Structure 1
């Protein structure tokens, strides 16, 4: 009797296990949470309605802001092809008839061809760029690596000058440059750049040099290098992003500087582009607005080209110097 009951018992246990296996599998399937398909880089394919609304609103605001910011530039470009009488009559961007002769008229509208003013601005910009690169990098190395008496106080005084508007110092500067006989020359616009007067760029380079490991200086010092060699062979090659940022900002700010150039440059032969554009506006007779806007477009081309060439270094330089 015992031997006959064993097969029945085993068969019953096997049947129960077989019957319970699908049930347990189904229960696990029911308990497993359903997941939406995911992208290879992470994130679900389907966004919720709330996320879609937020995305649409965000892009709408960004596009509207971009249109507001770029509208004056587009209006200036369109106005450069309009006759002077229609510039302010039709403030929109619709151009009924193009007048490309505005560019030819504007090129020769003043006492000298507009190429003369472009050349003058180029001379001033190149001098300012070279001056800032040389003087600000050397001053930054001194503040970042050297130890001397009054270092902290001098650095603080330098930072204070950033907050001084140019109108505060323009009168004593003009008196000084007038006594030196530099008025109506490019010297007041170039020579101060070789004295590290742009504290912003000095501060920018100081922050960058402080991020360079001092172990590199110590290794060069073990090889017998002094401060001049360390600066030229070790620090300066690593400062490419900061130097590029200084170059681009100096180029843009000097090229578009109107106030200083208006104060020091009085002869049409030494006018730069901003001062020459001001000469198009004649208070005693009619102003050729179309020609002025045409030359304004021409004057913006070097700035756009410089920014497009150096934007990679500009972003890298700002990101690596701690400026937010």
Structure 2
């Protein structure tokens, strides 16, 4: 089941990153509820497609992705995020050959925590998964190796190209977990006890209510930015005073956070080991834009 406006909205103005998940039904005939969802400009859940099948296996996930493909077709830079379910990975790249599949950072972390009980690397692991630069990834992995070499082997076997931002070939934006899908599953927790026809009607009514409320909120907006985006930029603006920008050449500014210097090259062959997608943190982009607008050269602190 999918709503036409939801699909059209996704194709026209939503980041092409989709979290997929499955959860069991608790009604008489049981089964599994399949969900594909994304995130909108206000960082809220943007539901795409729902499906109901017998269980999670290769056939059911292939069927679900085939239905999704019939709705959104091939898209540039499409990314799917899920847990480490091999059926999902196989179906995603099989039905969408031009897409990339990434694994949920949270699920990998929980699996690691269960496998290596008592090994305090959880916080370092989360930091490692979010870095933009390969050199930072290597530094953190050396720290983890110093604590427990087996953890490093486990994380390498999980394939860093699927869970580390610096190694991922495309943009995942802020969607590095399946939390948006898990959130939707949580909202439907009680509804999953309903008969299938009642469940589908409940979901339809819920989506109708959400999109109406969001439309009303959007009509009242007096700026192009959402509340979430404005709050994010405001926080970044407060941090601007901690940055200094020194122009060394037209395309290669140097940014420093107090004493920690970082050179950002706006060329693909940068020696800094940026992520495969060529990205660097949004905060640095904001700093560059701000200083280009306000001054030609910032004073050294």
Q: Calculate the TM-score normalised by the size of structure 2.
A: 0.23
Larger radius of gyration: 1
**Which one has the bigger helix percentage?**
1
The structure, 1 or 2, with the larger RCO (C-alpha pairs under 8 Å, 6+ apart) is 1
Q: Calculate the TM-score normalised by the size of structure 1.
A: 0.21
